[in-house]
Amino acid sequence: MRLTCPLCGPRDRREFYYYGAADYLDRPAADAAPEAWDAYLHLRDNIAGPVRDLWYHDQGCGSWLVVDRDTVSHEMLSVRAVAEDRA
Amino acid sequence: MRIEGKGLIDRSQTLGFRFDGVEHVGFEGDTLASALLASGQRLIGRSFKYHRPRGLVFAGSEEPNGLVTVRRDGAGVPNVRATMQELHQGLEADSQNRWPSLRFDAMQVNDLFAPFLGAGFYYKTFMWPRAFWEGLYEPLIRRAAGLGRLPQEPEVAPYEKVWAHCDLLVIGAGPAGIMAALTAARAGADVILADEDARPGGRLLAETHEVGGQPGPAWVAAAMAELRDLGVRVMPRTTVTGAYDDGTFGALERVALHLARPGDLPREAFWRIVARRAVLAAGAQERLIAFPGNDRPGVMAAGAVRAYLNRWGVAAGSRVAVFTNNDDGHRTARDLHAAGIEVTALIDARADARLDAPFQVLRGAKVLGTEGRLALKSVTVETDHGTRRVPADCLAVSGGWNPAVHLACHHGARPWWREEIAAFVPPHPGKPGTVPGLIPCGAAAGVFSTAGCLADGQRAGLEALAALDRAGEPAPLPEAEDAPVRVTPLWEVRGEGRAFLDMANDVTTKDVRLAATEGFTSVEHMKRYTTQGMALDQGRGSNVAALAVLAEATGQSVPATGTTTYRPPFTPVSIAAMGAGGRGKGFAPERLTTSHRAALDRLAPMIEAGLWYRPSHFPRTGEPTWKEACDREVATVRSRVGICDVSTLGKIDVQGPDAAAFLDFVYTNTMSTLSPGRVRYGLMLREDGMVMDDGTCARLGEGHFLITTTTAAAGQVMRHLDFVAQALRPDLDLRAISVTEAWAQFAVTGPKARRLLDGILDQPLDEMAFMACRDVQLHGVAARLFRISFSGEEGYEVAVPARYGNALYRDLVARAEAMGGCAYGMEALNVLRIEKGFLTHAELHGRTTAFDLGLQGLMSRKKDFIGRAASERPGLSGPDRQQLVGLKATGRGDAVLAGAHLFPQGAEPVPMNDLGYVTSACWSPTLGLSIGLGFLRDGRTRHGERLQLLDSLRGVDVTVEVTAPVFYDPDGVRMRG
Amino acid sequence: MASLIETPPCGDLLPVIVTGAQLVELRPGPVLSIAPFHGQAAAVAAILAEAGLDWPAPGTSGVGGSLACLWAGRGTAFVLGPLPEPLAARLAGHAALTDQSDAWAAMQLRGPAAEAVLARLVSLDLRIAAFPEGAVARAPLNHMAALVRRSGADRFDLWVFRSMAQTAVHELKAAMTSVAARG
């Protein structure tokens, strides 16, 4: 499997650290209801098909990445830098 | 038997080798299989389950029977396919799965019990009693069934892993692959051409066909010369074993297995080839016909018989019969006849087969049985006029050809059935589960004539070029044979006796029918129930026939029955090749501190801390074990001064206008109120409220902080900080970078620490407050000094650029020793911190909260921080939590043990009564007793209680007293001093 | 007063010489990490331009006089060589500056076999068209974080963490031996 890092170009997946669903970007407000924090911390869908998750270019440039990919076809749909997305 | 004038072997180069200790001679260009066949060695192994005598069937990597053990460097490499082992001088090979000898194998008695050993035998027989599974049944079955024996020593021979990148990977160097590579390379594409064989050419080496008016091998040689001139990377002996995601292919190269003297060469190399496009030109696989007695040595694939004849000049028999259902079988008979070998009959199952041949043709006929004990003597043939016996010491069987679709299906797509060639062909491009960018062509795509393969290879090359945005030109194609495919499917001839499908796993047609009868009617179930296709050869020569038998048994068509899933690898890959470079330093890099050599000079044994190597202790004369050294080092630190390399702790430099606000967000406590020149202990949580790490945070300047992490969590913390900065708080302006490697940092700790430092600092220390930091000069070098302590004594850490680490460490230790101090290692470091109740990842193990650790005071209530919301959940604090406590052994000679559990005295040691556990323990030379840290339910209210400490694994049952987790200088007078 | 002796990261581990490839230690001198703060990239680039250096695009490096500037990761560049003190002082408000001189072991792998040797340890596409002279990548050397720069048609500068120098040399030597054996 290969990921195209927006900074480094196409690289083997061994360079990347997989974190999990991109839900982790949407941190609730400090005073949000416990249910919101529960969902944020613990509830994830297990999707067959297009998913969006977080990877870290650990052995490369140090960018956190949002990766859209398809767990059925293994197709890489897009890779974007989190920081650029949020800027 | 060799045929004069035939073959591509070099008869001027004879090679001596041994098989089962017997000397044989072959030629350069031989495989072990061709040389053995030339020597008349018909019997080559015993079958897996029934120990039936077996001979060679194929000439390539699909061989099910010819598995041998090759001796290399004194060890046996088992399950080497004789067809894939190139001959070299001095090669030593042995047959497998026989005792005492290949000709007389005691286990052939299994064959007599064959009626009881059918599909599912093991599942049905060895069910009860359960207690016998591991102890009795498994060893018994393993001894009886089997292949070669694995060497018992660890593999030390060299293997390697290599990466390659290209525009186009062409898999297979037969006519189609060569044409595809030529087409692409002529247009300037960067091409890798990989082929399993030692010699490129594919089927052209095994046939008498001409290409472009010259012999096939000559055309191949000219084409290969052009490819090399074009810069194509040609990789012989390289099997592409798997198609993985995003254009990555796995390939196994046999690098030195064909050499008598490999020198420094690796045995095999496992390649990962990243290709923008790939052409699958892997050819086709001949299939057999199942009939009673079809596994007798001498029954072979017709295409293999032809390959042995034309490529290696070997006659597989002196009187050969051919049994076929298609025109290709006729070629074998004609080539044999032309070479002067007697063809006793061409048995064609088709009623309309051609009769014009200079040998007997029996059409509409089928082989019903075979005769001979260890080798074939004759075959029984059923014709329209009754049965008759045809003498033959070799029966060449052709049931048609299966395109090698495997790689095209590695992403899950299934092949489809083409009725006119009676074979599965690769899935249509673009269908779900096809391999993106992979273009099948030639025989792998069901194109079987040479002319067709050349044209289709060119088509594939052009298609690849278009995808690569390169212009390509169709070149005129050389003239070649263009016979149509004529085949009438015949899978099985039913009669008396067993008809084998998967010879490697001893699966018969009857087993497949039994599976269907017992309800295993799906092809995936049948496979697992019978073990069809689950051996080394993965059923490459038998799977399609097996599913055809299943189709018939279930009354379905072959395409409706479908294939099993194609998974990598295409051929077996040795674990050593996959794990190449993964031993020792290649498994885990060794991180060495700048004081490493100095510590070794002092004979310190090293222990691993993550990837780091750190000294355990510094033994002195008269200290028989580590414990005496450790006790002395602890006492020395407490009474005088000790030196310890602490460079392995993570050091992260954080700078920026918002650095302070950022640190307030990642630490539970507040760092923005820290004054420049001061240091604060800090705690980081995970977002789920558990403690991630602890460390110090030093403010070097207004917008400049240096934080430390534990050795173990340095990488995790850096990743976390990057996440918070990039994802959660992109509004904050700061940059963080690791400086762990830039600085060598040494703890100087003990009552005499300040005196020692005054000796090396350019300016004397004067007063330096506890938890202060400052820039200093020592020996003229700019350094940093921190007054922090992990020992409980007055302590400093001095940091210099790493280049000076070695010199400074030696200087510090020499000065300490002159003052009665010493270097101390990890054992003493651990004792010192347990005595003080300081934490490591034994306590910060991912399931403990700040409350559990007694650090709830570090949780600021004035700000948001990572982990705050979750840590405030009910259940993460309170009396039900297991809280950090100290533990003291009460009995003389008793020891607190890490990992032991705590129970009320007198309570039954069952999980319901489990109150907690010990995380760290040591002998405290300072207190003169065994102490520990642990977590105890409602522990902070239990100080003074006595509990039972149990460790059933190590047979420990002692009474301990619960205390506060700080055993030494609880008010910190010495540390702050 | 006594002075402290410097110990280089590789020291007596190098050179390693086999047929077709040599591995030697590099002494790049001062290494300054520059990581511009928000919105400061242009200001940093302008100051570096006075030293004859371009701010490097990802995956590139450049040379200006006796200095070199290497892209070194997300929003980070390393300046190699002695950046004039006034320039460094002016950078201070615009970027995080960190001395990385001692953090790395730098070595050069050169010779006709260099690319083949690296292909055993690095998963990068090192073909000259994809990784031309001056190209830089942060990528693992086997399991070690590394910085790779192509400094010539058949030479590569390799940077690994100082603590891993011994392992890096060991791994490179094994790959060099293996490639040399292929002749």
What are the pLDDT digits (tens) for B521-551? Answer: 999 999 999 999 999 899 999 999 999 999 9
List chain C residues with CB under 8 Å of B807: 4-7
Mutate to test the interface with B, among C25, C31, C163 (most CBs of B within 10 A): C163
Q: What whole-number distance in Å separates Cα of residue B203 and Cα of residue B206?
A: 5
Q: Phi and psi at residue B312, in whole multiples of 5°?
A: -110, 0
Q: Encode pLDDT of B894-904 as tens digits.
A: 999 999 999 99
Whether B685 and B694 have beta carbons less than 8 Å apart is answered as no
What is the structure's pLDDT at B977? 78
pLDDT at B236 over 80: yes
Alpha carbon of B278 to those of B73, B96, B407, B464: distances in Å? 38, 38, 11, 7
What is the structure's pLDDT at B855? 96
What is the structure's pLDDT at B430? 81
Crossing angle (nearest 10°) for helices B626-639 and B826-836 = 60
Cut 0.80: pTM above it: yes
Helix (H) or strand (E) holding A62: none
Contacts 24+ apart (CB under 8 A), B347-356: B347/B321, B347/B322, B347/B323, B347/B379, B347/B381, B347/B390, B348/B324, B349/B289, B349/B323, B349/B324, B349/B325, B349/B488, B349/B490, B350/B325, B350/B488, B354/B327, B354/B330
Percent of chain B with pLDDT over 70: 99
Taking Cα atoms as reference points, which of B143, B149, B144, B17 lies closest to residue B96?
B149
What is the structure's pLDDT at B336? 98
Tell if the CB–CB gap between B735 and C171 is shorter than 8 Å: no
Taken in order of first residue, the domains within chain B and their CATH numbers are 1-152 (3.10.20.440), 160-284+403-467 (3.50.50.60), 288-399 (3.50.50.60), 490-569 (1.10.10), 594-648+742-833 (3.30.1360.120), 650-740 (3.30.70.1400), 875-976 (2.40.30.110)
Q: What whole-number distance in Å separates Cα of residue B808 and Cα of residue B823?
A: 13
CA distance A1 to chain B (A): 5
Q: What whole-number distance in Å separates Cα of residue C50 and Cα of residue B372?
A: 92
- Report DSSP state, residue B105: B
Taking Cα atoms as reference points, which of C173, C157, C144 lies closest to residue C14?
C173
What is the structure's pLDDT at B576? 92
The helix, strand and coil proportions of chain B, stated in percent and rounded to the nearest 5, come to 25, 30, 45
Q: What whole-number distance in Å separates Cα of residue B890 and Cα of residue B152?
A: 48
Q: What whole-number distance in Å separates Cα of residue A85 and Cα of residue A25?
A: 11
CA distance C108 to chain B (A): 19
| CB crowding B348-385: b at 16 or more within 10 Å, else e | bbbeebeeeeebebbbebbbbbbebeebbebbbbbeee
pLDDT at B961 over 70: yes
Whether B177 and B236 have beta carbons less than 8 Å apart is answered as no
Tell if the CB–CB gap between A61 and C140 is shorter than 8 Å: no
What is the structure's pLDDT at B533? 94
Q: Is the ipTM of this complex over 0.85?
A: yes
Q: Encode pLDDT of B673-688 as tens digits.
A: 999 999 999 999 999 9
Q: How confident is the model at residue B423 (pLDDT cuts 50, 70, 90)?
A: very high
Q: How many residues does chain C have?
A: 183
What is the structure's pLDDT at B102? 83
Q: Find the CB nearest C98 among B161, B587, B739.
A: B739
Taking Cα atoms as reference points, which of B218, B222, B224 lies closest to residue B185?
B224
Chains touching chain A, criterion 3+ CB pairs below 8 Å: B, C
Indicate the average pLDDT of chain B. Answer: 95
List chain B residues with CB under 8 Å of A7: none
Number of neighbouring beta carbons within 10 Å of residue B215: 15
Strand duo B773-778 + B822-823: pairing: unpaired
Number of neighbouring beta carbons within 10 Å of residue B210: 17
Interface of C with A (CB under 8 A): 58-59, 73-74, 123-125, 137-140, 145
Whether B805 and B595 have beta carbons less than 8 Å apart is answered as yes
Report the chain A residue with the minimal C-alpha distance to residue B432. A73
Q: How confident is the model at residue B825 (pLDDT cuts 50, 70, 90)?
A: very high
Q: What whole-number distance in Å separates Cα of residue B653 and Cα of residue B735?
A: 8
The arithmetic mean of pLDDT across residues B268-273, rounded, is 98
What is the structure's pLDDT at B145? 59
Place of tokens 């960190």: C98
- The interface residues of chain A toward chain C in range 40-59, judged by CB-CB distance below 8 A, are 57, 59
Cα C53 → chain centroid: 16
Q: How confident is the model at residue B141 (pLDDT cuts 50, 70, 90)?
A: low
pLDDT at B143 over 80: no
With an 8 Å Cβ cutoff, is A86 touching chain C? Answer: no
The arithmetic mean of pLDDT across residues B596-610, rounded, is 97
- The interface residues of chain B toward chain C in range 767-786, judged by CB-CB distance below 8 A, are 778-781
β-pair partners for B921: B932
Tell if the CB–CB gap between A64 and B246 is shorter than 8 Å: no
Q: Encode pLDDT of B786-815 as tens digits.
A: 999 999 999 999 999 999 999 999 999 999
Q: How confident is the model at residue B148 (pLDDT cuts 50, 70, 90)?
A: confident
Cα B187 → chain centroid: 37
Taking Cα atoms as reference points, which of B86, B48, B45, B34 lies closest to residue B68?
B45
Whether B804 and B595 have beta carbons less than 8 Å apart is answered as no
- The interface residues of chain B toward chain C in range 726-755, judged by CB-CB distance below 8 A, are 733-735, 737-743
Place of tokens 């890959």: B573
Tokens read off for B433: 């589960």
Q: How confident is the model at residue B126 (pLDDT cuts 50, 70, 90)?
A: low
Lowest mean pLDDT of B256-260, B765-769, C24-28, name the range: B765-769
What is the structure's pLDDT at B155? 83
CATH match of C11-27+102-182 with 3.40.720.10: no
Tell which phi-psi region holds residue B29, choosing left (phi > 0), alpha (psi between -120 and 50) or beta.
left
Tell if the CB–CB gap between B160 and C120 is shorter than 8 Å: yes
Q: Encode pLDDT of C15-42 as tens digits.
A: 999 999 999 999 989 999 999 999 999 9
CA distance A74 to chain B (A): 7
Q: What whole-number distance in Å separates Cα of residue B536 and Cα of residue B525?
A: 19
List chain C residues with CB under 8 Å of B585: 166-167, 170-171
Q: How confident is the model at residue B140 (pLDDT cuts 50, 70, 90)?
A: low
Q: Encode pLDDT of B442-453 as tens digits.
A: 999 999 999 999
Taking Cα atoms as reference points, which of A57, A59, A66, A56 lies closest to residue A21?
A66
pLDDT at B120 over 90: no
Taking Cα atoms as reference points, which of B223, B232, B240 lies closest to residue B191?
B232
Q: How confident is the model at residue B118 (pLDDT cuts 50, 70, 90)?
A: confident
- The interface residues of chain B toward chain C in range 405-424, judged by CB-CB distance below 8 A, are none
What is the structure's pLDDT at B73? 82
List chain A residues with CB under 8 Å of B869: 28, 30, 32, 37
Helix (H) or strand (E) holding B68: strand B67-72
Strand duo B500-502 + B507-508: pairing: antiparallel
With an 8 Å Cβ cutoff, is B248 touching chain A? Answer: yes
Taking Cα atoms as reference points, which of B494, B464, B485 lies closest to residue B401?
B485
Q: How confident is the model at residue B147 (pLDDT cuts 50, 70, 90)?
A: confident
Tell if the CB–CB gap between A41 and B730 is shorter than 8 Å: no
What is the structure's pLDDT at B218? 97
pLDDT in tens, chain C (183 residues): 468 999 999 989 999 999 999 999 999 899 999 999 999 999 999 999 999 999 999 999 999 999 999 999 999 999 999 999 999 999 999 999 999 999 999 999 999 999 999 999 999 999 999 999 999 999 999 999 999 999 999 999 999 999 999 999 999 999 999 999 998
With an 8 Å Cβ cutoff, is B12 touching chain A? Answer: no
Whether A2 and A10 have beta carbons less than 8 Å apart is answered as yes
Mutate to test the interface with C, among A5, A15, A57 (most CBs of C within 10 A): A15
Percent of chain B with pLDDT over 90: 89
Lowest mean pLDDT of B374-378, B426-430, B725-729, name the range: B426-430
- Write down the domain spans for chain C: 11-27+102-182, 31-99
Degrees, nearest 5: CA angle B576-B582-B583: 95
Indicate the average pLDDT of chain A. Answer: 95
CA distance C57 to chain A (A): 9
Place of tokens 């059409």: B363
Tokens read off for A36: 């919101």
Taken in order of first residue, the domains within chain A and their CATH numbers are 2-26+34-86 (3.30.2270.10)
| CB crowding B286-322: b at 16 or more within 10 Å, else e | bbbbbbbbbbbbbbbbbbbbbbbbbbbbbbbbebbbb
Tokens read off for C138: 């942060």
Task: Mark the ranges of chain A whose per-residue pLDDT is less than 50.
Answer: none
Degrees, nearest 5: CA angle C142-C146-C149: 115
List chain B residues with CB under 8 Å of C41: none
